[in-house]
Amino acid sequence: MRLVLNNLAKVNKASIEIDGLTVIAGKNNTGKSTVGKSLYAYFYSLKNLDQKIIDVKFDSFLESFSNSSTSSMLGQLQNYSDRRIFLRLLSEVSFDFNRKLFQKNVEMDNIARKIIEDRCRQYNRIDWFDYLYKAYSDAIESSNKFGDITLAKSVIGNIFNKLFNGQICNINGTENASVTVHLKGVEGKIEIDRNSIAISFPDSLIIQHDAFFIDNPLILNNIAYDRTYNKEIALYYDQILRCINNDNADSSVEAIKVKEKINDIIKSINDIVAGDFINDNGRLMFKENDNSKPTELANLSSGLKAFVLIKRLLENGAIREKDVLILDEPEIHLHSEWLIKYAQIIVLLQKVFDLNIVITTHSRDFLEAIDLYAEKYDIKDKCNYYVSRLHNGNVEFDNTNKNLAELYRQLLYPTKILDELRSELRSE
């Protein structure tokens, strides 16, 4: 797979090979995270795009149905009891209009008619049927006003805008931004100008694999007592937390194969934190083997959270073969010894699940650990290394597969500064 970026955020041009494990190293503010976010946005927006379009239509339909029914009908009902009954009836009708029903298209009209009629009879308000059915028909017409292509552009645009906080195009340029992925001989392109999204990919392009973006294990702090979490968080946080909270046991053949594959990885994680997830009165908690009582996830150290997060995603089957995993500067919360262990787990993940993994890092030790474990587990031919640089205000990415010394040189700059400081102090 090859990711090509043009005029996106801080990146002027970039072409990144992603075929196994890709490591991008460089100084701060050199566009490393842009690569990961753009790859995540591409996969997340196109995976199940048809369902996302249906969800948009359904949400539009429900909003239109509820608003038009409420605003007009409540103005006609002077009796407080009638108004209260109407709102309850409207709520129950809206609940009956579920997404699965909405997908049936042709059948929905007859089913909707019956839903409205049954609810009206339940409340002895059959005289409200015509009014509610017209509100339903108007809402359906309103939700179908835009075609699927227009809605697809809206869905993709919203996802990119959320991830890049509205600044998708390079603020120093005037050209359109674009994200292109070459995957299995098929090219898919998303082009973004200052006001709209253009998409260009053949019908044969179907994104089958999930992408996960992890930049902070402290997201586990968002899981509260009632197993809900703050919704005003990053898009990729919401996705990961939903996966973590998923307790549904998967007994499929694929799930059984996954559990067999993760044994070695779980053993490596257990070297750091051995224990199990438990559900304690609705709270997802973690019970370490050497503790008698479980611990709230938020009370684990930030380093333990990094391992616990991966462990949970593995054990509940969220990560599957050939998925995309993006790790943005994982060294931030890890002690140097644990960082080496984390590198081993990442390499094992790639080997076992044939994942496409993108890692950004500032750490020389982490880079070397990845390189050495890649050799140990025989995946060096599936590794790509890049250095990111800021040149004349634009970010550049150079492939250093044949010159890893250049990549290490970028990460040794702090050592050079300290050596110069030592020399200065000695001379004084």
| Domain assignment of residue 345, yes or no | yes
Instruction: Indicate if 78 and 24 belong to the same structural domain.
Output: no
Instruction: Indicate if 218 and 138 belong to the same structural domain.
Output: no
Among candidate residues 99, 120, 143, the one where a domain is terminated: 143
Return d(Cα 343, Cα 330) in angstroms, integer. Answer: 9
Name the residue among 24, 34, 36 with its Cα closest to residue 361: 24
Interval 97-117: pLDDT, tens: 877 677 656 577 888 889 999
Cα angle 261, 266, 267 (rounded to 5 degrees) comes to: 110
Q: Mean per-residue pLDDT for 142-160?
A: 87
Interval 245-267: pLDDT, tens: 876 655 555 556 666 778 888 88
Q: Greater confidence, 194 or 45?
A: 45
Task: State the residue range of the domain holding 269.
Answer: 20-29+211-427
Q: Mean per-residue pLDDT for 32-58?
A: 90
Instruction: Indicate if 229 and 367 belong to the same structural domain.
Output: yes
Instruction: Indicate if 301 and 344 belong to the same structural domain.
Output: yes
Q: Mean per-residue pLDDT for 32-41?
A: 92
Among candidate residues 143, 159, 186, the one where a domain is terminated: 143
| Domain assignment of residue 154, yes or no | no
Among candidate residues 122, 143, 164, the one where a domain is terminated: 143
**pLDDT confidence tier of residue 202, bands split at 50, 70 and 90:** low
Instruction: Indicate if 330 and 217 belong to the same structural domain.
Output: yes
Instruction: Indicate if 118 and 223 belong to the same structural domain.
Output: no
- Render 273-327 in DSSP notation, one character per residue: --EEEEEETTEEEEEETT-SS-EEGGGS-HHHHHHHHHHHHHHTT-S-TT-EEEE
| Domain assignment of residue 170, yes or no | no
Instruction: Indicate if 383 and 236 belong to the same structural domain.
Output: yes
| Domain assignment of residue 174, yes or no | no
Instruction: Indicate if 268 and 359 belong to the same structural domain.
Output: yes
Instruction: Indicate if 25 and 58 belong to the same structural domain.
Output: no
Weakest-pLDDT range from 14-18, 165-169, 185-189 = 165-169
Q: Mean per-residue pLDDT for 315-341?
A: 91
Q: What is the mean pLDDT of the chain?
A: 84
Instruction: Indicate if 25 and 102 belong to the same structural domain.
Output: no
Which among 13-17, 92-96, 237-241 has the top mean pLDDT?
13-17
Percent of residues, the chain, with pLDDT higher than 70: 90
At residue 212, does pLDDT exceed 90? yes
| Domain assignment of residue 203, yes or no | no
At residue 225, does pLDDT exceed 50? no
At residue 388, does pLDDT exceed 50? yes
The distance in angstroms from the start CA to the end CA of the chain is 55
Return d(Cα 291, Cα 174) in angstroms, integer. Answer: 58
Interval 9-23: pLDDT, tens: 888 889 999 999 999
CATH of the domain at 329: 3.40.50.300
Q: Mean per-residue pLDDT for 280-307?
A: 85
Residue type, 335: H
Q: Listing from the earlier edge strand, what are the strands of the sheet with 356-361? A: 197-200, 186-192, 177-183, 2-8, 11-17, 394-399, 383-391, 21-26, 356-361, 324-328, 211-214
Q: Mean per-residue pLDDT for 191-201?
A: 78
Total domains, the chain: 2
**What does the pLDDT read at residue 247?**
66
At residue 226, does pLDDT exceed 50? no
354 contacts 327 by C-beta, under 8 angstroms: no
Q: Mean per-residue pLDDT for 395-408?
A: 86
**What does the pLDDT read at residue 353?**
92
At residue 238, does pLDDT exceed 70? yes
**What does the pLDDT read at residue 425?**
80
Which among 135-149, 247-261, 330-344 has the top mean pLDDT?
330-344
**What does the pLDDT read at residue 253?**
56
At residue 45, does pLDDT exceed 70? yes
| Domain assignment of residue 88, yes or no | yes
**Dihedral pair phi/psi, residue 391, rounded to 5°:** -130, 115
* This prediction's pTM: 0.85
| Domain assignment of residue 198, yes or no | no
At residue 58, does pLDDT exceed 50? yes
18 contacts 3 by C-beta, under 8 angstroms: yes
| Domain assignment of residue 276, yes or no | yes
**pLDDT confidence tier of residue 126, bands split at 50, 70 and 90:** very high
Instruction: Indicate if 418 and 271 belong to the same structural domain.
Output: yes
**Dihedral pair phi/psi, residue 358, rounded to 5°:** -115, 125
Instruction: Indicate if 253 and 283 belong to the same structural domain.
Output: yes
